[in-house]
Amino acid sequence: MFNREFDSTLRGILFQYGRVSINPVENKPTMKHVQFPKSFAGRPCTVVTPITSVPGTVFLGAGVSNISNDGFDAYITRTNTTETILAWIAIGPV
């Protein structure tokens, strides 16, 4: 897992991004918590996308929940237990 922050030229907006690896339980949503490198001043907009060659067949979905100033919970669902990497980005107030 790695996390980075991006120094934005947009005043008052912070971009942070990274990757998180999840070892899923077969056919069940599996969660891993991600801590932001730097806390936001307010709750950011946070999205994830899988790095996978089998979307919709073996890899069934990804999502986020419990977004806070400090981090979020990343979820994946697969039909098998193959480790999966999610790329994420969070954009919010400094």
Average pLDDT over the chain, rounded to an integer: 92
Give the closest residue to 30 by CA, choosing from 77, 66, 91: 77
Examine the pLDDT at 2 and tell me if it is beyond 60. no
Question: Which residues in 7-82 belong to E strands, given as ranges?
Answer: 13-22, 30-35, 45-51, 59-65, 71-78
Residue 11's pLDDT band, with cuts at 50, 70 and 90, is confident
Q: Which domains does the chain have, with CATH numbers?
A: 2-93 (2.60.40.3940)
